[in-house]
Amino acid sequence: MNCERCSTDEVRFRVYSDIINLIVCTSCGKKARRLGLAVEVPASLRTDHQPDDVLNGDLTLNPAA
């Protein structure tokens, strides 16, 4: 699946607000984080199978690793 913002890279994150809900690549996820939007790893991509946590600063797929 491709990024819904740039249509080039593989999807890694979900970016959302009260108006938007997009699945995006790492690059677009980092840009969204800088803009102050909520960024999370979608449940379908999580590898730790735990409740949603706040992502660490470098936007990794598995924050526990």
C-beta of residue 25 within 8 angstroms of C-beta of residue 12: yes
Q: Tokens representing 34?
A: 């800088």
Task: Label residue 65 by pLDDT band (50, 70, 90).
Answer: very low
Residues 44, 47: Cα–Cα separation, whole Å:
9
Per-residue pLDDT tens digits for 5-62 = 998 878 889 999 999 999 999 999 999 999 999 999 887 777 665 544 444 455 555 5
C-beta of residue 7 within 8 angstroms of C-beta of residue 24: no
Q: Tokens representing 9?
A: 């890279």
